[in-house]
Amino acid sequence: MASPPPSVFPREFGDELLLHIFLDVPPEDNLLSLQLVSKKFHAVANDQTVWKQHCVSSFRYWSDEGWFRDNIRRSAGQDKDKNNKKKKVDWKKVFLRRKRINARIGRLFDEIIQTKVDRLDKFEQICEYGYDAKDFLLEQLATSEEAEDVLARRYFGTTLLDSLHRGLAIEVWSKLQDATNPPALDQAFGAFDMFVLHDQPQDLRYISSWFDEAASSFRSSHPDFDQLPTRSKSLALVRWLHEEQGFQGITHEEDYRNFCNCLIGHAISSDDHPSLPLVSSAIFASLATRLGLDAGCCNAPIHVHAVITSPPGFDLDNNPIPSSSPSQTEKMYLDPYTSTQEIRSEDLTRRRQTYLAAAGPLPPPPISSFTDAAPVSTLILRMSNNLKTSYSLAKRLPADSPALHNLQHLRSGDPELNTELVLYSCLWANLLSVPPSQPDWDSGLDFFLNRFALNYSEDLWLVSKYLLPLYDRFVSRRAAAPPANRVGWENVREIIAMLQNLDRRPPVVSRRYTEEIHKRVKYKIGQVFRHKRYGYVGVINGWAAAGMAGLPTPHYVAPDDEQLGADDSEGVVSAGEEMGEWNEFRARRSGRTYYTCLRPNCDRLRLAQETIEIITDASEIPQQLFFAAGKFFKRFDAGTCTFVSNLKEFYPDD
């Protein structure tokens, strides 16, 4: 009889071989089975090298990125030095903590999809995890088309990720309130990028890392840099940026107002590095600061330039300045947008004179705007104005204009939604850049609160955390206009309370429980239609059998429908009309059947039943609508050309 094959027992494997094998085993399999095979397997499976690798390979983003990277590097040195007695990181504990966080985020996310109740509260709980939530949210953006709730997962994943990104940007801008310790220039400018980042990698960390690496690269190519005087250092850097790295402003003047030219993250990561003069100067100043230079941006009208100041007691050429001199420093000026040459003082004077001649009766800007580095908050306000100018241009250009396409083009996201996000970023920047001690701090507050409440209510946690304290400080300083006199869109607390009440309100259920309702309400939730009069395509997401009283709130009326007498117009009551007139108006229409619908730019638009023409061809549905539909629907059924309802708690029979 043949002898049995030799047995292979765990003890016959060396620890080093087992370690290499276990590094390739999924962590879930390790936890559930592999480490239970034997004591030897258990010991190797719990080696910190294994779990450190799982932390690196399983999670790309960490809220405390600095801690994570530092400990990865430190533990690598400890692995080599077995005599190192410093406390080591328990990587298995770190891994399990992240898994628990993901599990909790997953439960909250499922609840967000399942019910609208307390949805904003769950948004806040997820976003407060910061980048520890980002890996999970990116997975939702990549949900398979086969998933039962693919549209909902992609929509809410994107909504949460965008709000999380805005939170990081607003945290940076909140530091602008401390004039003595403002955020770094590259981070303050990069905050605008975060509003349109979506699933792209060029975030604030990318921007900071890029500048660190660029400074290191410049030093490597200029080994004698530290021995050079300030003037030579500055000229060497601007030449390196302009001639070797390709930072040469904007090639085509017709593209000057493009959104991407205002975004520092886009400028540094694009092959041709397009940027406005303000961004070009900010890039130079950010690099110069990392290289030890005292650099900033002058907020000169028309064209921003960079200013570099010599060390105290020395001029730009490293010559000592006599103690009797009125100034112990010397300044030089550069225009990184157009030139590698120093701006001479006479050129600077000529620029100012040219501006004054063109400005006419306008009050002249202070000379310091041409000669001194502006505060970061001032530069952010200027960038906000640039973006608002681009936004206004986008709204004036025809929809089919190539210029509009170029202006709106960014790496990710829908162009129309990005355009509105650009404006939203400007509104935030304005409120956070101006101290609430200024009497006009609230000049744009009502417009901001309206935009926020109607389009970005997921940012309730941000308004509560960052804007509310500024608002309270503002109203406390205005004895003539106490908080009680501020109502509606002028009162941050009132808007927060309104959104919280809407968020906590249980669903109002509408049933098709009578034959009359079945006859009156011809269409169902999820059906796609074309408006008979205006031609737009929408998706039904609400109905009321008799009159408008049963429609979901809030809902809106299209601007084209605001006048009474249109075939589907219900009218809009102005602030000055009496409630009695409004009730009479609604009563006249109590016999009609109304719906709300989803359009790409509005989530609940009111319309009458007779204006609906059902669509059965999926190719007629705008692509934008498929993303927006995730707010109310699980997926699209191509066979019936309908969206599968996620509104069962409101309309269980549809």
pLDDT at 3 over 80: no
- The whole-angstrom separation of Cα 101 and Cα 160 is 16
When pLDDT is cut at 50, 70 and 90, the band that residue 567 belongs to is very low
Token digits of residue 534: 């205006």
Instruction: Say if CB 330 and CB 315 are below 8 A apart.
Output: yes
Angle formed by the axes of helices 150-174 and 134-141, nearest 10°: 140
- The whole-angstrom separation of Cα 383 and Cα 186 is 13
Question: What is the dihedral angle through the alpha carbons of 269, 275, 278, 279, rounded to the nearest 10 degrees?
Answer: 0
pLDDT at 79 over 60: no
Structure confidence by residue, pLDDT tens digits, 37-71? 556 566 666 677 878 888 898 999 999 988 998 88
Query: Can you name the residues that pair with 306 across neighbouring β-strands?
Result: 297, 334
- What does R_g of the chain's alpha carbons equal in angstroms? 30
The residue-averaged pLDDT of 552-580 equals 50
Smallest CA-to-CA distance from 626 within 366, 391, 346, 417 is with: 417
Residue 355 phi, psi dihedral angles, 5° rounding = -65, -45
Average pLDDT, the chain: 88
Q: How far is CA 646 from the centre of its chain?
A: 26
Residue 145 phi, psi dihedral angles, 5° rounding = -60, -25
Per-position b or e across 265-280, b if 16+ CB within 10 A of its CB: bbbbbbeebbbbbbbb
pTM of the model as a whole = 0.90
Instruction: Say if CB 589 and CB 547 are below 8 A apart.
Output: yes
pLDDT of residue 574: 34
Q: Which residue has the higher pLDDT, 309 or 21?
A: 309
The residue-averaged pLDDT of 153-168 equals 98
pLDDT at 575 over 50: no
User: Helix (H, G, I), strand (E, B), or coil: what is residue 648?
Assistant: coil
* Residue with the two structure tokens 């891994």: 95
- The whole-angstrom separation of Cα 605 and Cα 551 is 10
Amino acid occupying residue 497? A
* DSSP letters spanning 562-583: -STTSTT------TTS-HHHHH
Instruction: Say if CB 321 and CB 328 are below 8 A apart.
Output: yes
Instruction: Say if CB 262 and CB 250 are below 8 A apart.
Output: no
- The whole-angstrom separation of Cα 479 and Cα 470 is 16
Smallest CA-to-CA distance from 259 within 128, 406, 49 is with: 406
Structure confidence by residue, pLDDT tens digits, 106-151? 999 999 999 999 999 999 999 999 999 999 999 999 999 999 999 9
User: Helix (H, G, I), strand (E, B), or coil: what is residue 614?
Assistant: strand
When pLDDT is cut at 50, 70 and 90, the band that residue 564 belongs to is very low
pLDDT at 584 over 70: no
When pLDDT is cut at 50, 70 and 90, the band that residue 580 belongs to is very low
- The whole-angstrom separation of Cα 254 and Cα 591 is 55
pLDDT at 537 over 70: yes
Angle formed by the axes of helices 492-504 and 445-455, nearest 10°: 10
* Residue with the two structure tokens 């103690």: 323
When pLDDT is cut at 50, 70 and 90, the band that residue 1 belongs to is very low
Structure confidence by residue, pLDDT tens digits, 425-480? 999 999 999 999 999 999 999 999 999 999 999 999 999 999 999 999 999 887 65
Residue 492 is given by DSSP the state H
Which DSSP helix (H) or strand (E) runs through 233?
A: helix 230-239
Which DSSP helix (H) or strand (E) runs through 186?
A: helix 185-194
- The whole-angstrom separation of Cα 195 and Cα 172 is 13
Structure confidence by residue, pLDDT tens digits, 190-213? 999 999 999 999 999 999 999 999
pLDDT at 562 over 90: no
Query: Which sequence spans correspond to the domains of the chain?
Result: 202-382, 515-645
pLDDT at 165 over 60: yes
Instruction: Say if CB 17 and CB 40 are below 8 A apart.
Output: no
pLDDT at 586 over 90: no
pLDDT at 10 over 60: no
List, in sequence order, the alpha helices (H) in 24-90.
27-32, 39-45, 48-58, 65-80
pLDDT of residue 76: 67
pLDDT of residue 607: 92
User: Helix (H, G, I), strand (E, B), or coil: what is residue 528?
Assistant: strand
E-strand ranges in 265-414 read: 294-298, 305-309, 331-334, 342-343
Query: 72-81, 449-458, 572-581: lowest mean pLDDT where?
Result: 572-581
The sign of the torsion formed by the CA atoms of 407, 409, 414, 418 equals negative
pLDDT of residue 5: 52
User: Helix (H, G, I), strand (E, B), or coil: what is residue 343?
Assistant: strand
Smallest CA-to-CA distance from 192 within 479, 532, 432, 434 is with: 432
Q: How far is CA 150 from the centre of its chain?
A: 22
Query: Can you name the residues that pair with 605 across neighbouring β-strands?
Result: 556, 597
Token digits of residue 7: 């047995």
Structure confidence by residue, pLDDT tens digits, 268-299? 999 999 999 999 999 999 999 999 999 999 99
Q: How far is CA 16 from the centre of its chain?
A: 46
Structure confidence by residue, pLDDT tens digits, 366-388? 888 888 999 999 999 999 999 99
pLDDT at 337 over 90: yes
